[in-house]
Amino acid sequence: MSERDRGRGLSLAARLRASLDSREAADRRAREEEARRREAAKRQRVELLRDLEAFGHALGHADVTATGQLVAIRLGDRVLRFEIDGDGGDVRVTGDGLSPGWVLRRNDELERWGLHPPHGAARLLFDAGLEELVGRAFALRAPDPDPSPVEERDDLSRDGTAGPRKRSL
């Protein structure tokens, strides 16, 4: 083989090698990013479980069991459990009054946790979602946040019917 024949494929080989090196570097970056994402999800789930544990203790009447993977809140003979579900990022929710398939999932755009029921629309956990879970699991309903008595509300008459309050002279 002549000198000239030996160098014919070197240019092609160099271009292919550069392409393979670039692909390998992109794959490595993707693996590193996925590892960072999984680690961040793990930290966020642990923080969520701590918040849910604190919520359970704040109820005052509940027995709370917490491990690194699970928080169980027991009220009487009913229980609500939050359990880390694999390496994804989800937290599985089970308990009395809940059908299978309830999940807590982090919304990275909002930087908040959402409650995803098996059917129906998702809602933010610490807005309406947690109240719904507690209501279903423990058959409880939080009182209306409006503490004003009926007779002091301007939109009700003295007898409690709707309409402006009638005043006598």
How far apart, in whole angstroms, are the C-alpha atoms of residue 115 and residue 128? Answer: 9
- 130 within 8 A of 55, measured Cβ to Cβ: yes
More confident residue, 39 or 168: 39
**pLDDT at 152 exceeding the cut of 80:** no
* H/E segment holding residue 113: strand 112-116
Taking only the tens place, the pLDDT of each residue in 39-85 is 888 888 989 999 999 999 998 889 999 998 999 999 999 999 999 98
How far apart, in whole angstroms, are the C-alpha atoms of residue 101 and residue 122? Answer: 12
The separation between the first and the last C-alpha atoms of the chain, rounded to the nearest angstrom, is 120
Largest CA distance in the chain: 120
Taking only the tens place, the pLDDT of each residue in 8-21 is 788 889 999 999 99
Coil, strand or helix at 52: helix
104 burial via Cβ count (<10 Å: 0-12, 13-18, 19+): buried
The secondary structure of the chain in percent helix, strand, coil, rounded to multiples of 5, reads: 40, 20, 35
The answer to whether the predicted template modeling score (pTM) of the entire model surpasses 0.75 is no
Amino acid 5: pLDDT: 61
Q: In terms of Cα–Cα distance, which of 133, 139, 143 is closest to 72? A: 133
Amino acid type, 142: A
